[in-house]
Amino acid sequence: MFRLDNKTAIITGGGSGIGKAIATVFAKQGATIHILDMDEQGAKNVVTEIISEGGKASFHKCDVSKQAEVKQIVDDIAANATIDILINNAGIAHVGTAETTAEADFDKLINVNVKGVYNCLHSVIPHMKQKGGSIVNMASIASLVGIPDRFAYSMTKGAVVGMTLSAAKDYLKYNIRCNCISPARVHTPFVDGFISKNYPGKEEEMFEKLSKTQPIGRMGRPEEIGYLALYLCSNEASFITGCDYPIDGGFVKLNN
């Protein structure tokens, strides 16, 4: 069950965190992995890890906010393989309210978190229409509930959910399924960096505090998101499209 043999997967932001977990999980299940990322060293390390364990993977340096760049890479991949899976995982975070968010930061979040997803959909879907496939977009619980100081980030993740529903509806007839995943806090290097940057000297205390915001009492693990993505991209999930999956330790439904 949940095998991805003979399937080709494009994973954006696959060089670390959740993207890395998805890439390694998919590779172990037989998929050929193409990582699109700006983090050259991180992505190459993931590729090396996958290949050392008998998997197939390659890295393509790519700024997802630039459509021509995305299209060239996708077309090159499609020239040699059928694209079966797209994981739109690349994204950036931001702390701020409507008042404190600078225009430059707002524009940057739009370009990466919204336009980046659009660029990949725009480039991959024409190839995927030939044989069908599965698309998973990474949203966030920030698209479902109000989170303090996450104005621009929440806005972009709400857009991801909207794009997911639209693409699912538009491409049903081509046997393309499109879903999204909305994680709560997941323990990644990004989280560690965020805490050390914003709460110097209080890292342990803040980690504990952020962990306890999930009713289950801890942050998620990247591989747990990877397993959900695996299910959604497998043949076993062939009846699922147009859905958003919170994976949140009870955050959305159990917090009072």
Catalytic residues: 153
The distance of Cα 190 from the centroid of its chain, to the nearest Å, equals 14
Burial of 173 (0-12, 13-18, 19+ CB in 10 A): exposed
CB 59 within 8 A of CB 44: yes
Tell me 162's DSSP state: H
CB 14 within 8 A of CB 37: yes
Distance CA 62, CA 237 (A): 29
Closest C-alpha to 37, from 64, 57, 56 = 64
Buried b (16+ CB within 10 A) or exposed e, 209-223: ebbeebeeeebbebb
CB 46 within 8 A of CB 21: no
